[in-house]
């Protein structure tokens, strides 16, 4: 199996896709979306030559674009069928947003950092993606457009806020990074990807794997 340290100086989209297959991404719809979305169009020009590599890249304002594997894996874990309405918390540069747009009926996305939101909105508009965007605190969600079939968080919260989980439809899935409990896991990797499914009564929570994301800001830190 190849690793990020083995990648060429100017990785190609084809090499990215081969790496994703090597890492076990098996949903053909996810792979098709990853093939269609031009990742290089979502990063600043100075790092564009590294767009298809397997490392996070800076997009300004202390924010990053997640690795292709994380984007593909999280998308796959949402178990999308194509009819869903999805709420994304953390628009960022718009890359994950675009991948979702390729696969679902409707995407709503919230970004708390205004300059990052502008960057993401420009990228998405340039490529013709139709998305409901707003600048605001992701912990609030988007009550006027709820319920959502899926909710995806791209920043780490102590726990996915209940205010978001309550905007899930019955049977819906929320996925995002959470802080691991003190004393658990590697001391350098204190975050875990958590998946919630809304049941008729309550939520079922599953831990997937260790991750590293930028912290979610706003109300969750109060």
Residue 8 reports pLDDT greater than 80: no
Q: How many CA atoms lie within 13 A of 107 on its CB side?
A: 26
CA distance 196 to 170: 11
Domain chopping of the chain, boundaries: 68-221
- DSSP code of residue 5: G
For residues 71 and 161, give the distance between their C-alpha atoms in angstroms, rounded to a whole number. 21
68-221: CATH superfamily: Vaccinia Virus protein VP39 (3.40.50.150)
Active site residues: 66
Dihedral sign from CA coordinates of 119, 123, 124, 125: positive
| Burial zone of 179 (CB within 10 Å; 0-12 exposed, 13-18 middle, 19+ buried) | middle
- For residue range 12-54, list pLDDT tens digits in order: 999 999 999 999 999 999 999 999 999 999 999 999 999 999 9
Q: Is the pTM value of this prediction over 0.75?
A: yes
pLDDT tens, residue by residue, 69-125: 999 999 999 999 999 999 999 999 999 999 999 999 999 999 999 999 999 999 999
């Amino acid at each position: 199996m190849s690793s990020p340290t083995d990648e060429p100086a100017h990785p190609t989209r084809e090499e990215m896709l081969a790496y994703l297959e090597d890492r076990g991404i098996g949903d053909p719809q996810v792979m098709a979306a990853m093939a269609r979305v031009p990742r290089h169009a979502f990063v600043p020009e100075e790092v564009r030559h590294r767009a298809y590599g397997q490392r996070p890249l800076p997009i300004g304002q202390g924010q990053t674009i997640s690795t292709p594997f994380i984007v593909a894996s999280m998308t796959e874990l949402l178990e999308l069928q194509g009819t869903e309405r999805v709420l994304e918390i953390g628009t960022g540069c718009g890359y994950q947003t675009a991948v979702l747009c390729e696969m679902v009926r409707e995407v709503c996305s919230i970004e708390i950092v205004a300059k990052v939101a502008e960057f993401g909105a420009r990228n998405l508009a340039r490529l013709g993606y139709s998305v409901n965007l707003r600048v605001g605190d992701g912990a609030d969600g988007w009550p006027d457009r709820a319920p959502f079939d899926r909710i995806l968080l791209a920043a780490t919260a102590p726990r996915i806020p209940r205010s978001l989980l309550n905007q899930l439809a019955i049977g819906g899935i929320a996925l995002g990074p959470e802080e691991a409990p003190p004393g658990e896991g590697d001391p350098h990797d204190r975050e875990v990807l958590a998946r919630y499914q809304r049941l008729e009564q309550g939520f079922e929570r599953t831990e997937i794997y260790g991750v590293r994301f930028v912290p979610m800001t706003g109300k969750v830190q109060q």
